[in-house]
């Protein structure tokens, strides 16, 4: 028995010490990086390398940046360039770096009752949805996707509202399911759409427009604003996702053989 105790207790103390040494990194990110499953592939190698655990908070970009402004996270991984720049200019963020990109797509029922797919431009496609009172489901959550949608309505000179326009305040995955159930139109990032491809019947009705570009950046929280943030660990994470290993994971991440994101730090 004494021999067993001599073996057991040192092993237990080593386990406790290892657990105590593990650092928690708080990452606020968009629902698209979470819904696609990318972070489930990207984070474990980092966690093993640095004895850390990444605590992911997946919300819209607006909420992610608000969490960062309040000092509740150590870094953000988002996709709304204008909002990101404003965040930097207010002094909350440092070391903004490009990570990857994909694009947005306009989705709708296979029958395309608005005829959006036959439009000569993206602005015309958006106008057709409103003109024919076809249902459109909006995230309405200040996410990067919602901000892009608002930009597209503005460029199409349409002010969304009324019975044909539904704001649901949900992440991208739930919005796709709602739009599919209602046979409505919606705007989605391509990655989440591909991840949900087997669950919904919505089809791409308009794509490949320069207005639909969707770049992602990673930003550290300024320790001068919030001294308690783990800026060194956050920088290691930023270095990892923009370095060779992280970029290779992003490049090779696929669903049904289709890439969801394209690396921007290393090509």
Q: What is the per-residue pLDDT across 101-120, written as a single tens digit (0 to 9) for each?
A: 999 999 999 999 999 999 99
Reference 102, options 265, 264, 263, 261; nearest CA is 261
Q: 129-158 burial string, b = 16+ CB within 10 Å, else e?
A: bbeeebbbbbbbbbbbbbbbbeebbeebeb
User: d(Cα 108, Cα 136) in Å, to the nearest integer?
Assistant: 9
| pLDDT at residue 9 greater than cutoff 70 | no
Q: At what angle do helices 244-252 and 38-50 cross, to 10 degrees?
A: 160
pLDDT at 18: 45
Cβ atoms within 10 Å, residue 3: 7
Classify burial at 174, counting beta carbons within 10 Å of its beta carbon; exposed 0-12, middle 13-18, buried 19 or more. Answer: middle
pLDDT at 22: 87
What is the token pair recorded at 245? Answer: 């290993």
pTM (predicted TM-score): 0.87
pLDDT at 20: 52
- DSSP H helical ranges for the chain: 2-21, 31-35, 38-50, 61-69, 81-89, 122-131, 144-155, 172-182, 190-195, 231-242, 244-252
User: d(Cα 176, Cα 181) in Å, to the nearest integer?
Assistant: 9
- Of residues 198 and 150, more confidence is placed in 150
User: d(Cα 127, Cα 146) in Å, to the nearest integer?
Assistant: 17
User: d(Cα 58, Cα 35) in Å, to the nearest integer?
Assistant: 9
Chain-centre distance for alpha carbon 196: 15
Percent of the chain topping pLDDT 90: 88
What is the token pair recorded at 114? Answer: 């608005």
Domains of the chain in sequence order: 2-102+214-263 (3.40.190.10), 104-212 (3.40.190.10)
Taking all residues of the chain, what is their mean pLDDT, rounded to a whole number?
Answer: 92
Rounded mean pLDDT, 148-163: 96
8 Å CB contact between 60 and 31: yes
């Amino acid at each position: 028995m004494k021999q067993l105790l001599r073996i057991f207790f040192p092993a237990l103390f080593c386990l406790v010490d290892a657990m105590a040494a593990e650092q928690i990194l708080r990452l606020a990110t968009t629902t698209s990086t979470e819904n696609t499953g990318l972070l489930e592939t990207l984070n474990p190698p980092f966690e093993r390398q640095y004895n850390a655990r990444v605590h992911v908070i997946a919300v819209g970009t607006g909420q992610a940046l608000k969490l960062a402004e309040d000092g509740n996270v150590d870094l953000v991984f988002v996709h709304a360039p204008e909002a990101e720049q404003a965040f930097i200019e207010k002094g909350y963020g440092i070391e903004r770096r490009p990570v990857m990109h994909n694009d947005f797509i306009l989705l709708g029922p296979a029958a395309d009752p608005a005829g959006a797919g036959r439009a000569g431009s993206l602005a015309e496609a958006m106008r057709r949805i409103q003109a024919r009172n076809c249902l459109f489901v909006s995230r309405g959550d200040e996410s990067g996707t919602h901000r892009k949608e608002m930009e597209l309505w503005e460029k199409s000179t349409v002010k969304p509202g009324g019975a044909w326009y539904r704001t649901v305040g949900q992440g991208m995955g739930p919005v796709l399911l709602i739009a599919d159930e209602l046979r409505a139109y919606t705007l989605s990032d391509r990655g989440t759409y591909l991840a949900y491809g087997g669950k919904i019947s919505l089809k791409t009705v308009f794509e490949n427009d320069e207005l639909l570009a969707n770049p992602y950046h990673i930003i550290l929280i300024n320790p001068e604003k919030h001294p308690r943030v783990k800026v060194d660990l956050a920088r290691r994470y930023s270095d990892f996702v923009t370095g060779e290993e992280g970029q290779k994971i992003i490049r090779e991440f696929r669903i049904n053989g289709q890439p969801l994101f394209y690396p921007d730090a290393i090509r």
